[in-house]
Structure 1
Amino acid sequence: MSARPDSFDFAASGRRVFAIEGEALAAVGGRVDGAFSDACRAMLACRGRVVCTGMGKSGHVARKIAATLASTGTPAFYVHPGEAAHGDLGMVTDADVVLALSYSGESDEILLLLPALKRQGNTVVAMTGREASTLAREADIHLDVGVPAEACPLKLAPTSSTTATLAMGDALAVALLEARGFTADDFARSHPAGALGRRLLLHITDVMHVGDEVPRVGPEATLSEALMEMSRKRLGMTAVVDGDGRLLGLYTDGDLRRSLDDARVDLRATRIDAEMTRTPRTIGADALAVEAAQLMEAHQINALLVLDGERRVVGALNIHDLLRARVV
């Protein structure tokens, strides 16, 4: 009789799964040896792509391995073995390495592809749980992902075996990543829509305001005129520039509040150069947007002027621009 749901110890069952799969990972990890190195060398030398294939649960794992390889510098894709036998094998060139997953090593759909792959000259790397299986014997390189036990108490559902196979795929991807000298910048280029991509690829020039959108006044402008410029451009500041557009100073909303608190300041008569900050924080046009965010955070400011190499004001941005770009 099955246990009643209200009396079943779910946590104990969950812990048992972790324990069994932990043992499986340790066992497979202990077999990362010369064959693993051979597989890495074959993939590193590959002039084409790593074609991952597998049926059922192995197919799901193969898809994930292909995605991990592709995002870490090893061009790869997944092909369904059943579809491959009906035309999709044309996607595989003689420059490709094939990574075939089958825990039993006897999946008909995979075995059916082997003669064609061998005729074409593809290197076949197999991941199976049985060294004596047909796929293991016929492959050029075999990676043993056999596990002591499945976590499923019925010994039916692939659990420990899929976890171990996935970990072997991760091990291949990471080893290749390190061998290639793959960097965070490389990762960002293949993930332009992700948070890391935005942080590493987005430049100041991609988010800053330029041209007439940049608030600027001359040093002879009054505070009242500066206030009107700030209101029009809505960046909470204005640059003070000379006739060639070079920065002389900065006047911000905070400076305006301090001016209003000073009874001696007449907004209509006081010149901006008497109240401006003469050495404001600025940033170069070639900097990354994330550097602007770090500068703002470090100095508790909400806006920055962007300067070129001759200290001419070429742009401006505030914290809202960085928020819209999802840099912060």
Structure 2
Amino acid sequence: MTAPRTRVQRRPVHGVVLLDKPLGLSSNDALQKVKWLLRAEKAGHTGTLDPLATGVLPLCFGAATKFSALQLDAPKTYRAIARLGQTTTTADAEGAVLQERAVDAAQLTADNLATVAARFTGAIRQIPPMYSALKKDGKALYEYARAGETIERPARDIFIYGLKIAKTQDESAQPAIEIEVTCSKGTYIRTLAEDIGQALGCGAHLRSLRRTETGGLGLAQCVTLAQLEALEGDARLAHVLPADHLLQGHTPITLGAEDAARFLTGLRRRGPWADADAVAVYADQPRALLGVGHIHAGELIPDRLLSPLEIQQILEGMSRPS
């Protein structure tokens, strides 16, 4: 006879866990594991990392889920290894080999790699890969690709803020390049690696990918799944950072009690503030995040607000003995 499953008693958890996502795990699987470990009621992530990618994955809980889109739109930095001389159906190590070509060592000098990097820096256009979750007529492109169909994809505008390319070898000691790139939302690193390989005259495909930063949040602040699993119960909550860790670059504004109460109801407030597109708004006493907004012509305008219950639960959690 099968024993009945123990039902996990959920609780309100508010904040963000910066997870160093392990290899082979989908972003949603990673989220669900951490949600279970924390016994959290509400959770979401800030954009997916492929199962073959590792690195910084901000996981949002409770009130922090209201700010997850800010990280989705933020610039991201990756470190990748691409094998040269070989292209695949998926532009990465999972696909079947399409073509093999010789690698010309003369193309891999530091000067030439810098020249190629310059070609792919700044505003560029990129054709999304067939093996992607983009939709066409309600169906993901990878579904068409698995059925042997190729769908015409319009090029998309992306921005490469910084790109470095260096000669290296992959895990099998084959000729490869190391790519370090900071890019805009919507950039496919697989496609970038493939395009760089084409520019080098030999083709390439991605062998490994690691996200090292997203929106100012880096690996140094991350915790691994193994580290969380090794902790007991409430000790895991020490790795839940305040929600305003997602508000990197926001201008902080502090309101007195009366203005804070009115702001929380969605009312605009006037004050001696300079125009700002993104502000993080706090109550003075007790110090508490109220939400985010923007300032125009001296007027503070709410965009996303925490609820009074969320604020109360956050303050109670701060006062609880660790």
TM range (shorter): under 0.3
> Higher strand share goes to which structure?
2
> Higher helix share goes to which structure?
1
Instruction: Give TM-score, length-normalised by structure 2.
Output: 0.22
Instruction: Give TM-score, length-normalised by structure 1.
Output: 0.22
Q: Which has the higher contact order (CA 8 A, sep 6+)?
A: 2
Mark the structure with the bigger radius of gyration. 1
